[in-house]
Amino acid sequence: MASYLMRVQTFEDEEQRQEFIDSLIGFQGADDTSKIMVVEQEGEETPFELEKVDIQDIGDLYAFTEESARNNIIRASLIPSALVLAEEGIFGGSDGKMISANAYYNGVTLDYRLEVSAAFEELFNDSVFVVGEDFDIKETPPSIPKAKDTAEGKAKIFEVISNASLSESKKSIILQRLFDFDKEDADLLAQEDKTDLNVQ
């Protein structure tokens, strides 16, 4: 938005006008060409005048949208919030948000994947290069965290290893079968006193 208004007499011809504009650009630099608005005025008494225009700085007015409006748009579009918003703990959670986001993404990209796969097949079928026969672009598999990698899982593990009524061998078996620990790590966790651990 222009912040200066330059009043000049009407130019005699287009060549004179272009020379003036080129000189002005050379003076203020190509990056700031929109800062000065040139106005031609007829009449011999028209002075050369540069006037500062007081304007509101609204450049960042719409940099942020009010949250409820943003959330309404997301809901209306049926886009899983995990694909749009940065939510704390979303990648380590076990509440199904990432699974539904993954399914949505695979559904939206299905047509593109089919078209690109068909194009690859057409390109490489008669090629002298041996690139295999499977040109299908696969779905993105869901990223499902293991129970031991989630906050809830870590809390349960802490309950198991700090339970005094369970023997070390039972603790080890539970850790192996329910939380996918290998025997060595499960035995190590079961043997040590973990009552002073903090679960984060």
Q: Within a domain: residue 118?
A: yes
CA distances from 93 to 50, 86, 114, 141, 176 (A): 61, 13, 31, 16, 21
Looking at the structure, tell me whether residues 19 and 82 fall in a common domain.
no
What pLDDT digit, counting tens, does each position of 19-58 carry? 888 888 777 766 666 677 788 887 766 667 877 777 655 5
Q: Within a domain: residue 35?
A: yes
Give Cβ neighbours of residue 140 (< 8 Å, ≥ 6 apart). Answer: 102, 105, 106
Domain that holds residue 184: 147-191
Looking at the structure, tell me whether residues 25 and 84 fall in a common domain.
no
Length of the chain: 200
How many domains is the chain built from?
Answer: 3
Q: Within a domain: residue 200?
A: no
Q: Within a domain: residue 199?
A: no
Looking at the structure, tell me whether residues 68 and 141 fall in a common domain.
yes
Say whether pTM exceeds 0.75: no
What pLDDT digit, counting tens, does each position of 145-172 carry? 677 777 777 888 888 888 888 888 888 8
Query: Which letter does DSSP use for residue 43 in this model?
Result: S
